[in-house]
Amino acid sequence: MSLQSKNLIRKFLKWRYQHISNKQFIGIASAIIGLLAGLGAVTLKNLTHFIQHLLEGELIKEIHVAFYFIFPIIGLLIVLLIIKYFIKKKVGHGIPSTLYAISKQKGIMPRFQMWSSIITAPLTVGFGGSVGLEGPTVATGAALGSNFSRLFHLNQTTRTLLIGAAAAGAMSSIFKAPIAAIVFAVEIFSLELTLASMIPLILASITAVLTSYFFFGDDVLLHFNIQDKFHLNDVLFYVLLGVCSSMASIYFSKVYFSIGSFFKKYKNPYKRLLIGGVLLGLLVYFIPPLFGEGYETINNILKGNITSVLQNNIFHIVIDNIWLITGFLVGLILFKIVATSLTFGAGGIGGVFAPTLFTGSITGYVFAMVMNYSNLFNHQLSSTNFAMVGMAGLMAGVLQAPLTAIFLIAEITGGYELFVPLMIVSSISFIITKKYIPHNIYASELAKKGELLTHDKDKNVLMLLDIDKVIETNFVLLYPEMTLGEIVNNAVAKSSRNHFPVINEENEFLGILTLNDIRSIMFNKELYDTVKVSSLMHAASDIIYYKKDSAEEILNKFKMSGAWNLVVIKDGKYFGFISKSRLLTAYRRKLIDVTS
């Protein structure tokens, strides 16, 4: 940033402090961020459609089917080259990278994240990568919110709130569902649901959805009109759909994690690209509905236009047998998450929101179709209604965001006719899935490390503590061969501390010596040359491992050991001490900061 720009910002900040209150400025900032998030969503969507339009142009229209295999590989290769030679930094997967920034980087997101997903995600999806654009859109908006906050020197709490506002704006712009977008930000980013946080979320969501209407008019991502009303006789079937949705959600999550673990074994990005790209190309070639986000398939399912979905296969076979139809649709459910995971494994940039909706819509449709055909209960179900509610079931299970699922589908349908079925299916799917998959796809890695922000305020405060600031290193070091005289003259006399770490020549921690250990003999000069540290020192009550132990684990170690000071080990070497009083003081200060 130039000196002139810095001076202008400094002048603006001075004027702002004098004329605009902090609450007013946050409101204005939220509206601006909502606009920027909306523009980001519009840009991502248009770029993706532009790429897809080019690929489906006249030049290759005749051989387009053959190119289903090669398109994803070309797109993934371009993405890899852009990341390696142009961006030169790791581009995270949307929402997980945003959650990491909030929990471990004080809401600070690198500037390149404001534009990196805008380039890489459309290339991934436009060339056939079987992922969604929602995650990259949210990450782009969140990065804009984070860097806007940094530009105007807003604190960590406000920065986190504006990141949530940007996420709400992104979702509002994509689905034109402003209420669901607010709920999404609260559920996924664990924001405090207060009046102070609601106003910025509302403002961002409004400006973003207005931006979407300005560019896209009344066009919506999902087209659905309720034709069949909810009947009390349907309740049992919605309960069963909730169970089926949980099974599909567990399968979805397990496959995602397993394939992700498989690709982590390969450090070479070109090898990952080759394996993932070829397998993805084969899947998309033989099952074309897996190409891209899949919203065309979702909309056909929601309209009950199953023929268009079935005819979209490599052999153009018209399927007219109910069991063949069921088998084909179940294949889409089973292989969509495989294609999504392969896209990620090969280096693609995208999200899992669209694949979740894809899988959910087909799950609901297949369930209703099988029930209607079997006629076991002598009751006909609305296949389109069950397809729509099935999307909520998968969202509640895979994303573990049941409220977002309920409100999103309710807003998309333009009313609350399906509100009761949405609540039934979402709650059942969420409860069962949560039992087997403790954390959603977005938060799993952070949760394993104990770094995930939740609605538990005490845990959040501990997580946000900067452990580096409570580690003390100004201790006099002792060595095993030092004598009692050296301890008294070189350590006790020159230190205000009452305990001393004992280390070897390699700086490895061996034990502790305290004043209490030598109090009875420290003035007996006859022992000054004969008694050594090695005979006086003792083991530490417990040990804190730097960057491995979370603040919560450190607090538990103090509780279990009863110690007032614990040694810190970094990379196998002595690093310093943490005192309980210093840790609790830092906790109180952070609690005030977070709740202010």
Domain of residue 563, CATH code: 3.10.580.10
Say which amino acid occupies 413.
T
Among the candidates 185, 216, 247, a domain finishes at 216
Query: Burial of 94 by CB count in 10 Å (0-12 exposed, 13-18 middle, 19+ buried)?
Result: buried
Residues 178 and 252 in one domain: no
Per-residue pLDDT, 451: 54
Torsion of the alpha carbons at 357, 362, 363 and 367, rounded to the nearest 10: 150
Phi, psi of 395 (to 5 degrees): -60, -45
- 173 near 216, Cβ under 8 Å? no
Residues 541 and 588 in one domain: yes
Residues 102 and 125 in one domain: yes
Residues 144 and 10 in one domain: yes
For residues 347 and 97, what is the distance between their CA atoms, to the nearest angstrom? Answer: 15
Phi, psi of 590 (to 5 degrees): -65, -35
Does 503 reside within a domain? Answer: yes
Q: In residues, how long is the chain?
A: 596
For residues 387 and 394, what is the distance between their CA atoms, to the nearest angstrom? Answer: 11
Residues 158 and 64 in one domain: yes
For residues 387 and 311, what is the distance between their CA atoms, to the nearest angstrom? Answer: 19
Among the candidates 455, 478, 501, a domain finishes at 455
DSSP string of 264-307? Answer: HT---HHHHHHHHHHHHHHHHHH-GGGSSS-HHHHHHHHTT-HH
Residues 480 and 419 in one domain: no
The neighbouring-strand residues paired with 514 are 499
Residues 195 and 278 in one domain: no
Per-residue pLDDT, 324: 82
Does 223 reside within a domain? Answer: no
For residues 264 and 409, what is the distance between their CA atoms, to the nearest angstrom? Answer: 35
Which uninterrupted H or E stretch holds 353? helix 353-374
Per-residue pLDDT, 69: 79
What is the pLDDT tens value at each position of the chain, 596 positions in all? 566 767 787 787 777 777 788 888 888 999 999 999 999 999 999 999 888 888 776 545 455 556 677 888 999 999 999 998 898 888 877 777 788 777 777 778 888 888 888 999 999 998 888 998 888 998 899 899 888 888 888 887 888 888 989 999 999 998 888 999 999 888 888 777 677 778 999 999 999 999 998 988 877 777 777 777 888 888 999 999 999 999 999 999 999 999 988 998 888 999 999 999 999 988 988 888 888 888 888 988 988 888 878 776 665 556 677 888 888 899 999 999 999 999 999 989 998 989 999 999 999 999 999 998 887 777 889 898 999 999 999 999 999 889 999 999 888 876 678 889 999 999 999 999 999 998 888 776 665 555 555 555 556 666 667 788 888 888 888 998 989 888 888 888 888 788 889 989 889 999 999 888 888 888 888 888 888 888 888 888 899 998 888 777 888 888 888 888 899 999 889 999 988 888 888 877 777 665 55
For residues 1 and 202, what is the distance between their CA atoms, to the nearest angstrom? Answer: 32
The neighbouring-strand residues paired with 499 are 514
DSSP string of 13-76? Answer: HHHHHHHS-HHHHHHHHHHHHHHHHHHHHHHHHHHHHHHHHHHTSHHHHTTTTTHHHHHHHHHH
Does 224 reside within a domain? Answer: no
Does 273 reside within a domain? Answer: yes
- 365 near 383, Cβ under 8 Å? yes
Tell me the residue range of the domain where 262 lies. Answer: 232-455
Residues 184 and 65 in one domain: yes
Residues 443 and 480 in one domain: no
Does 225 reside within a domain? Answer: no
Per-residue pLDDT, 432: 96
Among the candidates 216, 245, 270, a domain finishes at 216
Does 81 reside within a domain? Answer: yes
Residues 356 and 494 in one domain: no
Per-residue pLDDT, 316: 59
Per-residue pLDDT, 415: 60
Residues 335 and 448 in one domain: yes
Per-residue pLDDT, 491: 83
Q: Write out the two tokens for 427.
A: 């709650």
Does 185 reside within a domain? Answer: yes
Does 487 reside within a domain? Answer: yes
Phi, psi of 503 (to 5 degrees): -130, 170
Kindly provide the residue ranges of all beta strands, DSSP E only, lying in 351-493, ordered along the sequence. 471-472
Q: Is 131 helix (H, G, I), strand (E, B) or coil?
A: coil
Residues 198 and 299 in one domain: no
Per-residue pLDDT, 332: 93
Per-residue pLDDT, 428: 96
User: How many domains does the chain divide into?
Assistant: 3
- Residue 538: DSSP 8-state: B
Domain containing 8 — which CATH number?
1.10.3080.10
